[in-house]
Amino acid sequence: MVKIIALTGLARSGKDSVAKIISKKFNFEHFDFSHEILLPELKKRNLEENKMNFSEVANELRKKNGKEFLAKHMFDLIKKSDSENFVLSGLRSPEDVNFLKSKVKDFILIEVRASKHVRFHRRSNMDPVRYHDFFKRDEQDLKEKGLAYVLQMTDAVIHNNTLNLKDLEKETVQVIKLLVNQ
């Protein structure tokens, strides 16, 4: 039976870091919406690899193919895998969540949360440099993609305001053990 732990949260909250911990500690296969679905599309279009292009391509794909398109594509990847346990990072829309919930009985949705200050300092070369530009994506994700609704749908929150990966690992393991053993 397939089990999915899906991670959501604002940009640079640490979703991929949490996914790597879950993958390593609990033997879950990690799929990331950006890298598995959107990155190949960016490359096909010869677009620069940055967060705004990821966001715009995702919006375009959803508009053209339906709001749950990314989740459908992700579920196709899951079906091709030999694994039964998956951690997915980067869910942004309620339609993605609802589609996956309709396909998998054992589905857990977790928000990874970090303060604005911490998230801004974690930015990479793919992120906007200016403070206002960096947080403009939050507004787009929350309002246009429906991330505000997704955050209300979560089963738990992992707080990630630390720079110490051991602290993050400890909290992640505690939350996962609690949720998986219910």
Euclidean distance between CA atoms 94 and 136, whole angstroms: 20
Domain region containing 114: 3-180
Q: Give how many domains the chain has, as a whole number.
A: 1
Tens-place pLDDT, residues 35-88 = 899 999 999 999 998 878 888 899 899 999 998 999 999 999 999 999 999 999
Question: From edge to edge, which strands make up the β-sheet containing 29-32?
Answer: 29-32, 85-91, 3-8, 106-113, 156-159
pTM of the model: 0.91
pLDDT tens digit sequence for 15-33: 999 999 999 999 999 999 9
- The CATH number of the domain holding residue 31 is 3.40.50.300
pLDDT of 139 reads: 85
